[in-house]
Amino acid sequence: MKKTFVTNEQLQEIVKEYPTPFHLYDEKGIRENARRLKEAFAWNKGFKEYFAVKATPNPFLLKILQEEGCGTDCSSMTELMLSEALGFDGSEIMFSSNATPADEFVKAREVNAIINLDDITHIDFLEKAAGIPETICCRFNPGGVFKISTSIMDNPGDAKYGFTKEQMFEGYKKLKDLGVKNFGIHSFLASNTVTNEYYPTLAKILFELAVELKEETGADIKFINLSGGVGIPYKPDQEGNDIKAIGEGVRKVYEEILVPAGMGDIAIYTELGRFMLGPYGCLVTTAIHEKHTHKEYIGLDASAVNLMRPAMYGAYHHITVMGKENQPCDHMYDVTGSLCENNDKFAIDRMLPKVDIGDLLVIHDTGAHGFAMGYNYNGKLKSAEVLLKEDGSTQLIRRAEKPEDYFATFDFCDILKDMKY
């Protein structure tokens, strides 16, 4: 059984100030988790977490992570702008993008971010657009199928990202000739893994590649970025990752491969998003309709606009009916939003306690890829974001959108001059 980080009593008070739906975040949980990650990799002197901004691009949450020693992983102009505005310096910003517009490379160079190139052709593109920096990273894609033990984790061969192995060697040599002095290696081979084996297995691949690259090209490799992919247990019967065991697994491979090669000073970087914030956010919503036709439906004031993952690819998110946590789950519902799309469902055939109109429902694990994936289909407006602070108080960290926000991009003309708000 999944437990909420907020009690029913707390939530009843919170909704008096902030109307549902809204995303709620747990400051205490976020800070404690960031410290657990840092401790798990404390054996590596240069360890740094570059939080994946795309997962939760909220400046208040980024400041919390900044206070805990994290940097940012950016993939767009606006994410670079956000990081710069919050005072992250160049060494604290990783720029990992693909099919990158020239002006984004220019901005990355302007803020002195560490650029992680996605393709060998980007070397010439970057040189022409913004010049080649002294420190650079290259993203590796080994192709084929990525396996852990006997389990297939993902299919890098079908992914659009990264250099082939041959291109890594060619690219490093070319970059050295262009004046690069410090190199990094990056790779992302599987998403949302719930196994302690993923990082150590990936690390072994990258560490062995690092040794080969140094021997053949003479490149000075300063860091290896394991990227993201460490997931969270969305379902209540899943066992979560043990970040301490993961860190220890990476350390063991590090000492087996890099240290004997005289490369024991390489820093380890991570770019976690979901693991950092996923469990520490939830979507708070109210049951506003019930429908009894061919199935039993509960209609919420939230929709896929607020949480897209279930509609997009059938992702599971646990649901708690607040105040009824100990009641039997003896009613089967489809839990829906109000969009004009039949996939606007948070749950299908989900067993829950009897839901009554006005009940507060908490949809778990929306702290990453929740609000961030929202959109405005049907003219629906994005919700507020609220922080549950360590002392139990709350803080509005993003207001809900208003109709005037939705129509703001027509401010260049007077076609809506008679709009009444």
On the CB side of 37, CA atoms within 13 Å amount to: 29
Please state, in angstroms and rounded to a whole number, the distance separating the CA atoms of residues 71 and 326: 41
Please state, in angstroms and rounded to a whole number, the distance separating the CA atoms of residues 97 and 75: 5
DSSP string over 387-403: EE-TTS-EEEEEPPP-H
Are 14 and 386 contacting, i.e. CB atoms less than 8 angstroms apart?
A: yes
156 φ, ψ (degrees, to nearest 5): -55, -30
Residues in Cβ contact with 76 at an 8 Å cutoff, skipping those fewer than 6 apart: 54, 97, 104
Nearest one of 254, 260, 171, 267 to 219, comparing CA atoms = 171
- Give the CA-trace dihedral at 172, 173, 175, 176, to 10 degrees: 110
Residues in Cβ contact with 252 at an 8 Å cutoff, skipping those fewer than 6 apart: 200
Task: Exactly one of 74, 137, 138, 340 is catalytic; name it.
Answer: 340
- Give the CA-trace dihedral at 185, 188, 192, 193, to 10 degrees: -80
Residue 399 vs residues 39, 83, 386: alpha-carbon distances, Å: 34, 20, 8
- Taking every pair of Cα atoms in the chain, the longest distance, rounded to a whole number of angstroms, is 73
Residues in Cβ contact with 93 at an 8 Å cutoff, skipping those fewer than 6 apart: 50, 71, 72, 74, 80, 83, 84, 108, 111, 112, 113, 114
Is 340 annotated in the active site?
A: yes
Give catalytic residue positions.
340
